[in-house]
Amino acid sequence: MNGIAIEDDYAGGNIRVVSEESGVVTLEQQLRDTTGWWFYWGFAAIAVEARTVTFEFANGEVIGPWGPAYSRDGIEWTWLGVDASRSSRASFAYAFEAGEKAYFSYCIPYQLHHFESFYARMTPHPLVRRKVLAVSERLRALPLLVAGDDSASRHILIACRQHACEAVSGYAMEGFLEHCLQSPHSRLLTQCKLHYVPFVDLDGAERGDQGKGRAPHDHNRDYTDRPLYRSTAALMAYASAFPLEVGIDFHSPYLWGGRNDRPFIVKRRSPMKEEIERFGALLVRATSRSEAAANELRYDGAHDIEAGEDWNQPNDRTCSSFFERRGARLAFSFELPYFGVEGGAVTPHSCRRFGADFAAALEAYVLGGGRNDEER
């Protein structure tokens, strides 16, 4: 379109221009090596003159209930708002100022530069060490944070971004770590070592890949005797070097609607099911007691997906199944929504608050022996 330039050559960018005419830019997300349809997209647009432009997607309804995620600098993100969407969730409009560059995305992004900014704010800290888990196929160093007392013999491992587009867990883990590293909430790190992998599929996250359903299989189907990916092979080797007590794998679910709008646990079969439910009861209490509970993300076990229900079928190739095989007392996948519900929308702030509540619940579970308050 004359006077409008579309870009996706930045961390997390993913778009293809289909056509441009009469104030409408038709776009579609790039699936790349994803074997089926998926929904992630991200792009920047620059306007020479002040004008309103409609962006229309030719590849499905991929604009969430709060409109697209929006940024003026690609760093700080918010929601553009429901009024930006047109007649369906396949298009939105934006009024550009002359010379303005704006970034838009399916969801609130979390890139390596967000992690680096967080790490710079957090360090130096006597309980935190940074390592390299592996060097990726595209020669990126995958960060690994280890937090806790060196004498601690109990180990917790938390992984994020098995699927490149599932970004919001990064903000939740910022809140988790901030909670754990602030006195008097550091009891967990005096008795346990926390191992945190923020990007299992770092290449995919930085390239703007879908990551989900990647051919021949994605990272969360790679926990086998012969893994394809350097990161999963390294994570398995690393986690095999210590006795694992808790292993949690963060994800985001599908689009929106139903349980996809709520935080939920992907349950495993007994006896792990009972441990998951003990932790879940503590997380319910933590999020309901939160100072922000009235208007932010809350967990309710009613939205959990049971083992054998719908898509939660037995699979021994996933990260959470690997954690269970490693002997973890508590192991599961946890799904954070891309959008949330009215009154509990996903934002960097709400995810950090939820992460702090998650840390409080995990502290109560680990230091309380896995018993909930009614059992004490």
pLDDT (tens, 9 = 90+) of the chain, 376 residues, equals 568 999 999 999 999 999 999 889 999 999 999 999 999 999 999 999 999 999 999 999 999 999 999 999 999 999 999 888 877 899 999 999 999 999 999 999 999 999 999 999 998 999 999 999 999 999 999 999 999 988 899 999 999 999 999 999 999 999 999 999 986 657 889 899 999 999 999 999 999 999 999 999 999 999 999 999 999 999 999 999 999 999 999 999 999 999 999 999 999 999 999 999 999 999 999 998 755 555 689 999 999 999 999 999 999 999 999 999 999 999 999 999 999 998 889 999 999 999 999 999 999 999 986 554 444 3
Residue that is written with structure tokens 């579309």 in the block:
6
- The whole-number pLDDT of residue 62 equals 97
Residues β-bridged to residue 51: 96
**Sheet (strand 192-197) strand order:** 128-135, 141-147, 192-197, 154-159, 244-251, 330-335, 264-266
DSSP run (H or E) holding 172: helix 169-181
For the entire predicted model, the pTM comes to 0.95
Alpha-carbon distance 151 to 167, whole Å?
A: 33
Per-residue pLDDT, 84: 86
pLDDT at residue number 371: 52
Distance CA 208, CA 332 (A): 26
| CA end-to-end distance (rounded Å), the chain | 66
Sign of the CA dihedral with 103 first, then 106, 111, and 117 last: positive
CB atoms within 10 A of CB 196: 18
Q: What does the pLDDT read at residue 374?
A: 41
Please give the pLDDT value at position 184: 65
The Cα 30–Cα 230 span in angstroms is: 24
Q: What pLDDT, on the 0 to 100 scale, is given for residue 375?
A: 42
What backbone torsions phi and psi does residue 3 show, to the nearest 5 degrees? 90, -5
Pairing of strands 244-251, 154-159: parallel
